[in-house]
Amino acid sequence: MAEEEFESGTENKKDKLIYIAAGIGVAAIIVLILAGAYFLQPQLDGNSKTKILIIGSSSQEVIDILNDNRDIFDYDLKTTSALSVDSATEFEKYKIIIFDQSEESNKEVSLKIGEAAQQFVKKGGSLIMVKDSGIRRPDTYDIIGWGSTFGEIVPVTCDRTINNQPTCTNRLLVRGKLYAEEKTHPIMQGIDFFPADPNLNASFELFDVAVAGKEIAYIQSEGIDKKSYPGIVEKNLVLGKVIYFNYNPGKTRGIFESTLNYLS
């Protein structure tokens, strides 16, 4: 009997050791996954500011907002031609990259820069695309839109045409309001519509693009027709995020600041 009890106790101890070893193994795997995710994210230098790279030429309103938040954000402004040959390595210095060529007539972004942007986002970086920035490539005239340069990371598409003209090349001036589609989203927290005065409208320069992500806000024209256009659209990748603004983000200071904080 004593021998049987001894063997039973030994078996129980073995089972416990197996369970403990399995638990340690699972914990080790989780730690490795989290560590891998951390090291894949863009690594910033020692200061606490969020580093931002603006590619193109932003509106004065956007620059003013960034300058007013210098204690939080540290930004560099470069054209596509001023980027280094190794864009992927250069992008690693930043947490947020903004493609904003809204103040330029040239909307070209090379395939190499587009591929570096894809890699940046997939490693955990955050990207903001403004209006029709990056819809053309310098090496070809038969491609219009974001897909051929940025793959599938941009949350809108330029597939549709109106009168044989791609919608992302047809600039529209719309008077109306920006409405929150996702009212609980951090970007739209506390904002139901802009302008906040129910009796006022704003002018938006935008494009009739198609949504290929999650619509955060939309723009609705005034008048009888009440036509709606994408306003802010988001696409989440495994680690990174991409936000598309279909208007000058500097027009809505609170929303733009919330976006930068959300992506930081």
116, 80 contact by CB (below 8 A): no
Domain total of the chain: 2
Span 95-139, pLDDT tens digits: 999 999 999 988 999 999 999 999 999 999 999 999 999 999 998
Span 225-241, pLDDT tens digits: 889 999 999 999 989 99
Q: Which pLDDT value is given to residue 234?
A: 99
Q: Give the C-alpha separation, 168 to 227, whole Å.
A: 17
Q: How confident is the model at residue 173 (pLDDT cuts 50, 70, 90)?
A: very high
How much is the mean pLDDT over the chain? 86
Q: Which of 129, 124, 221 is nearest to 168 (CA)?
A: 129
Q: How confident is the model at residue 159 (pLDDT cuts 50, 70, 90)?
A: confident
Task: Identify any residues that bridge with 75 across adjacent strands, giving them in sequence order.
Answer: 52
* pLDDT over 90 percentage in the chain: 72
160 and 244 in a single domain? The answer is yes
Q: Under 8 Å CB-to-CB from 153, ≥6 apart: which residues?
A: 117, 118, 121, 122, 127, 235, 237, 242
Q: Give the C-alpha separation, 249 to 61, whole Å.
A: 8
Q: Which pLDDT value is given to residue 143?
A: 85
Domain that holds residue 28: 15-42
Percentage helix, strand, coil for the chain under 3-state DSSP, each rounded to 5:
35, 30, 35
* pLDDT over 70 percentage in the chain: 82
Span 1-33, pLDDT tens digits: 544 444 445 455 445 444 544 455 544 444 444
Q: Which pLDDT value is given to residue 47?
A: 60
Provide the sign of the torsion angle of the four alpha carbons 140, 142, 145, 151, taken in this order. Answer: negative
DSSP E strands, 86-224: 96-100, 126-130, 136-137, 140-144, 156-157, 161-162, 165-166, 172-180, 193-194, 202-206, 210-211, 214-221
240, 123 contact by CB (below 8 A): yes
228, 191 contact by CB (below 8 A): no
Assigned domain for 5 exists: no
Provide the sign of the torsion angle of the four alpha carbons 90, 94, 96, 102, taken in this order. Answer: negative
Q: Which pLDDT value is given to residue 44?
A: 45
Q: Is the pLDDT of residue 211 over 60?
A: yes
Which ranges of the chain does DSSP label H, i.e. alpha helix? 2-40, 60-68, 87-91, 111-122, 147-150, 253-263
Assigned domain for 149 exists: yes
Chain centroid to Cα 247, Å, comes to 15
252, 139 contact by CB (below 8 A): no
Task: Identify any residues that bridge with 214 across adjacent strands, giving them in sequence order.
Answer: 234
Q: Most confidently modeled of 36-40, 85-89, 154-158?
A: 154-158
Q: How confident is the model at residue 224 (pLDDT cuts 50, 70, 90)?
A: confident
Assigned domain for 117 exists: yes
Q: Which pLDDT value is given to residue 31?
A: 41
226 and 254 in a single domain? The answer is yes
Residue found by looking up tokens 């597939």 in the block: 159
Assigned domain for 6 exists: no
33 and 159 in a single domain? The answer is no
37 and 132 in a single domain? The answer is no
Q: Give the C-alpha separation, 74 to 72, whole Å.
A: 7
Q: Give the C-alpha separation, 95 to 124, whole Å.
A: 8
69 and 181 in a single domain? The answer is yes
78 and 111 in a single domain? The answer is yes
Burial classification of residue 88, based on how many CB atoms lie within 10 Å of its CB (0-12 exposed, 13-18 middle, 19 or more buried): middle
Q: How confident is the model at residue 73 (pLDDT cuts 50, 70, 90)?
A: very high
Q: Is the pLDDT of residue 60 over 50?
A: yes
38 and 58 in a single domain? The answer is no
Q: Under 8 Å CB-to-CB from 238, ≥6 apart: which residues?
A: 122
